[in-house]
Chains A and B, each alone.
Chain A
Amino acid sequence: MRLQFVLTEVLNGLRRNLSMVVSVILVTFVSLTFVGAAALMQTQVDKLKGDWYDLVEVSVFLCPDGSTAPTCAEGEATEEQIAELEQVIDTELSTVVEQTYFESKADAFGAFTELYPDGYQGTQLTADDMQASFRLKLVDPEQYQVVDDVLEGRAGVEVVEDQRAVFEPLFVALGRASMLAAGLAGVMLLAAVLLITTTIRLSAVSRRRETGIMRLVGASNLFVQLPFMLEGAIAALIGALLAVGGLWLAVQYLVLDWLQDAVDWVAYVDVGDVLAVAPLLIGIAVLLAVVSSVVTLNRYTRV
């Protein structure tokens, strides 16, 4: 009885201010899409970092034949120089470096042929065209500078390169985009709160007669207010579901079908990530609706 009655009231209310309800749905849809996009971009950054950031090492390239770098004046790095560098890494950098891996010219060539079995841009290369290097995995990737200070300028070292620097601009761009989305989401959420508040207020005013009688015959506060709360919550919920659907489509068509084809060596956000964000969006929507209805209703339908 109660449930059926409340649901009928809710349906009537939704029908009565249809245009307002539609605008609530659209505003929550757009704002939550921004929230979801921000969250997904953050997820993307995390994925890239997980895949690459940790694996990417500091590379200490050793002098090859014919290098113009001042430290390479004596020509190709000798066995002694290599041994000495290894010594330095083991002692002076023992707290910073977690793992050391020496990639000889032959190793580099192996990795190269694996990537480009048919030669690079039509030239067949040999192992002698490769460059030997130390690959260092750091305890804390941020401590690149320490490694650089110690090793840069030593005999036999051509250049110390932080491989993360290659990816840094990408992360910065993604981070900024997700900040931007979050900022827009904030503005849109504010608009959503105001709109939901207005809608509930309109609904409450247009049903003053009903609520007045309800209060006179002794309906409980919750019973009087529940239909309005549900109205707001349902509209917001539909908006949230639309946002989830929109993000799903975006990920499916923009990322998985298109970006993935173009650049396939990166791990992208997928539909699973969208579903992981969904509860957050729905939660925000319900919270918005409940907060705005409690604030409004206490003013307009108080006993």
Chain B
Amino acid sequence: MIRFENVSKVYARGARPALDDVSVDVSRGEFVFLVGASGSGKSTFLRLVLREERPTGGRVYVAGRDLSRLSSWKVPSLRRSIGVVFQDFRLLPNKTVHENVAFALQVIGKPRHTISTTVPEVLEMVGLDGKEKRMPHELSGGEQQRVAIARAFVNRPQILLADEPTGNLDPTTSLGIMRLLDRINRTGTTVVMATHDDEIVNEMRKRVVELSTGSVVRDEIDAVYGHRESILPAVGQTPVLDAPGRDAPAVVHRVQVTPEPADLEAERAAEAAAARAAESGDQQPAAALPAAPAVEDRPVDQRPVAQAPVEPVGPPAADRVPEPGSPDDVVQQVLREHERVRAGREA
């Protein structure tokens, strides 16, 4: 479905290549995570698939089309077979949820009756039934991302590209978005998602392609995110290890997030829609991910993310105690030290 053959991309003459001799083959219906540090070329990869950029070397094939030979007037037709989602949602602020989704169909000239049937369908699928008339600023981040996904998916593209779709969302909301992407993947849509979110990658157990300074350094099926040190090589250990307070007992306070009722509601609605669709049709229910977390039944401090039935890679996040000297630990220590110094100043 997507095929990169020795693709290189150099933005400015003389600059370090953003992609360097990358060869990746994504088949129809696959779900692929694209991971790597900032600047490793993930967004560049996605832009090449969209033909927003042209490679400086090698060939890109998307949905059977050789993009280097694709004339520019055929680009719109290529993009109609690809949906895109971004970290910042990119909704139109002066249009309602319904209008935002309908916009994608209007501008490619779909007839009115098609729009009036498909838009409610896709909104139900993402769990936003009943919120059609809301404006984007009246929605939570998770809901906005659902609208963006609805807009990307409303034309039933063969490929869905997502560039850090959970980058602005808390872990629980992110999980809901992931369940949605997974469900979309199950309809046969190829999904490529660039992300920094290690927990999501670890839980989903999908194919992972890791980029580092423009090269593919890993391409594994059923993979995990990888070691922080190798992905974030800039977090060197030596300088921070000397931070004071290092011998303090390693009590870790991770940020606790109470899921927003609205997001949970959206997730449950999407779940119900999927179940209905499964009952009446051929679609298999989404079961690979944990069921919608019901916040009422659960102590607040327990992260629903950690309840995943898939085998967790490490201990559940809430009670995970970083090994002394690991980057997590170091970060916590530095934070605590800052706290202490500030408290001392204020006293």
Question: How far, in whole Å, are A220 and B75 apart by their CA atoms in the complex?
Answer: 8
Q: Beyond A213-B90, A217-B151, A217-B155, is A303–B107 a contact (Cβ under 8 Å)?
A: no
Question: How far, in whole Å, are A209 and B95 apart by their CA atoms in the complex?
Answer: 12
Q: How far is the CB of A70 from chain B (nearest CB, A)?
A: 85
Q: Per-position contact with B for A1-25: 1 when CB-CB < 8 Å, else 0?
A: 1100100000000000000000000
From A1, A209, A213, A218, contact of B78 by CB (8 A): A218
Number of A-B residue pairs at CB separation under 8 A = 60
Question: How far, in whole Å, are A214 and B155 apart by their CA atoms in the complex?
Answer: 13
With A217-B79, A217-B151 already in contact, 17 other A-B pairs whose C-beta atoms are closer than 8 Å? A1-B109, A2-B106, A209-B92, A210-B92, A212-B90, A214-B107, A216-B79, A217-B80, A217-B108, A218-B78, A218-B79, A218-B82, A218-B155, A220-B73, A220-B76, A221-B73, A223-B109
Q: Beyond A1-B106, A1-B112, is A216–B72 a contact (Cβ under 8 Å)?
A: no
Q: Which residues of B contact A (CB under 8 A)?
A: 50, 72-73, 75-84, 90, 92, 103-104, 106-112, 115, 151, 155
Question: How far, in whole Å, are A221 and B72 apart by their CA atoms in the complex?
Answer: 10
Nearest B residue to A209 via CB reads B92
Question: How far, in whole Å, are A217 and B76 apart by their CA atoms in the complex?
Answer: 8
A267: interface (CB < 8 Å): no
16 interchain pairs, CB-CB under 8 A:
A1-B106, A1-B110, A2-B109, A5-B106, A210-B92, A212-B90, A213-B107, A214-B107, A217-B80, A217-B83, A217-B108, A218-B75, A220-B76, A221-B76, A223-B107, A303-B75
Residues of A within 8 A of B108 (CB): 217-220, 223
From A209, A217, A223, contact of B104 by CB (8 A): A217
Q: Which residues of A contact B (CB under 8 A)?
A: 1-2, 5, 209-210, 212-221, 223-224, 303
From B73, B75, B81, B103, contact of A213 by CB (8 A): B103
Q: How far is the CB of B109 from chain A (nearest CB, A)?
A: 5
Q: How far is the CB of B64 from chain A (nearest CB, A)?
A: 16
Establish whether residues B106 and A213, one from each chain, have CB atoms under 8 Å apart when the complex forms: no
Residues of B within 8 A of A212 (CB): 90
Establish whether residues A303 and B90, one from each chain, have CB atoms under 8 Å apart when the complex forms: no
Question: How far, in whole Å, are A51 and B106 apart by their CA atoms in the complex?
Answer: 60
The interface centre, meaning the residue of B73, B76, B109 with most chain A CB atoms within 10 A of its CB, is B76
Residues of A within 8 A of B111 (CB): 1
Nearest B residue to A214 via CB reads B107
Residues of B within 8 A of A1 (CB): 106, 109-112, 115
Residues of B within 8 A of A219 (CB): 76, 107-108
Residues of B within 8 A of A218 (CB): 75-82, 108, 155
Residues of B within 8 A of A224 (CB): 107
Q: Beyond A218-B77, A303-B75, A303-B76, is A213–B104 a contact (Cβ under 8 Å)?
A: yes
Q: How far is the CB of A296 from chain B (nearest CB, A)?
A: 18
Nearest A residue to B82 via CB reads A218
Question: How far, in whole Å, are A217 and B109 apart by their CA atoms in the complex?
Answer: 11
Nearest A residue to B73 via CB reads A221
Q: How far is the CB of A11 from chain B (nearest CB, A)?
A: 14
